[in-house]
């Protein structure tokens, strides 16, 4: 899929502030600092469409972007960052659950996981929600440039086992080397054109 345009639309915390539900939408979820912003920027070929940082932000917003004037990408707030104050962390669950359960244009969620670690309870909970709401998931293992090819394959198999899925369902990606960019885009394109909802 060729990305020809990408622009910021709005930030929101609650449904009344979401943009009109008129276009298919793909959301991106992952632990803070996993490389979510870097992945989105790499997919759309923009250095700073989404702000990246080594110190995860404290704002917990859903950020909506218009892609190819045809669909939305939504950058969901990251989870699992210990330094985010507790009151802000507590809002994450309800905010995400509300989004997943009410957004009927949502076609799928790209779940971003660091290829070097085995997912934890946060990922497990998110997957349970996605299954519950029947939302397709595109799991992506990022920062692959940090591992040798042998270890990439080893981690891919271990993480597939954790999720009880086929290892080829896990796309190996790197924002640095661009490994997997086309594969992620084609999975997204497939979901955008699908009629699951
Ligand atoms: N080596 C490497 N570093 C990455 C990759 N993706 C992100 N990073 C780095 O990881 C840090 C967090 O990235 P960011 O995209 O802001 O993560 P977010 O908090 O999930 O949005 C930054 O220092 C990035 O440069 C990758 O594929 N490879
Ligand atoms: Mg980010």
User: Which ligand has the nearest atom to the CA of 115?
Assistant: 1
Q: What is the pLDDT of residues 67-79, one digit of tens each?
A: 999 999 999 988 8
Ligand 1 site: residues with CB under 6 angstroms? 30, 32-38, 52-54, 56, 78, 142-143, 145-146, 174-176
Q: Calculate Rg over the CA atoms of the chain.
A: 16
Where residue 85 falls among pLDDT bands split at 50, 70, 90? confident
- Full set of structural domains in the chain with CATH: 6-192 (3.40.50.300)
Q: Could you identify the residue written with the tokens 């490994």?
A: 179
Name the pTM for this structure: 0.94
Q: Cα of 50 to ligand 2 centre, how many Å?
A: 7
Residues forming a β-bridge with 141: 113, 172
**Which runs of E-coded beta strand occur in 16-154?**
25-30, 62-67, 71-75, 106-114, 137-142
Which residue among 28, 33, 38 is best mutated to probe the pocket of ligand 1, counting the most ligand atoms within 8 A of its Cβ? 38
> Under 8 Å CB-to-CB from 49, ≥6 apart: which residues?
6, 7, 8, 40, 41, 65
Helix, strand, coil proportions of the chain in percent (round to 5)? 35, 20, 40
């Amino acid at each position: 899929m060729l990305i020809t345009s990408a622009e910021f639309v709005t930030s929101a915390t609650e449904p009344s502030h979401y943009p009109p539900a008129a276009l298919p939408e793909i959301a991106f979820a992952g632990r803070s600092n996993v490389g979510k912003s870097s992945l989105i920027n790499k997919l759309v070929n923009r250095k700073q469409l989404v702000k990246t940082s080594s110190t995860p932000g404290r704002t917990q917003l859903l950020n909506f972007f218009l892609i190819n004037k045809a669909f939305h990408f939504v950058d969901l707030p990251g989870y699992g960052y210990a330094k985010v104050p507790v009151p802000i962390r507590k809002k994450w669950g309800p905010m995400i659950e509300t989004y997943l359960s009410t957004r009927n244009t949502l076609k799928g969620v790209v779940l971003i996981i660091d290829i070097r670690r085995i997912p934890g309870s946060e990922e497990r909970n998110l997957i349970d929600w996605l299954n519950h709401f029947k939302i397709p998931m595109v799991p992506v293992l990022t920062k692959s440039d940090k591992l040798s090819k042998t270890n990439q394959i080893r981690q891919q198999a271990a993480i597939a086992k954790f999720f009880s899925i086929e290892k080829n369902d896990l796309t190996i990606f790197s924002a640095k080397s661009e490994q997997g960019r086309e594969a992620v885009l084609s999975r997204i394109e497939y979901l955008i054109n699908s009629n699951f909802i």
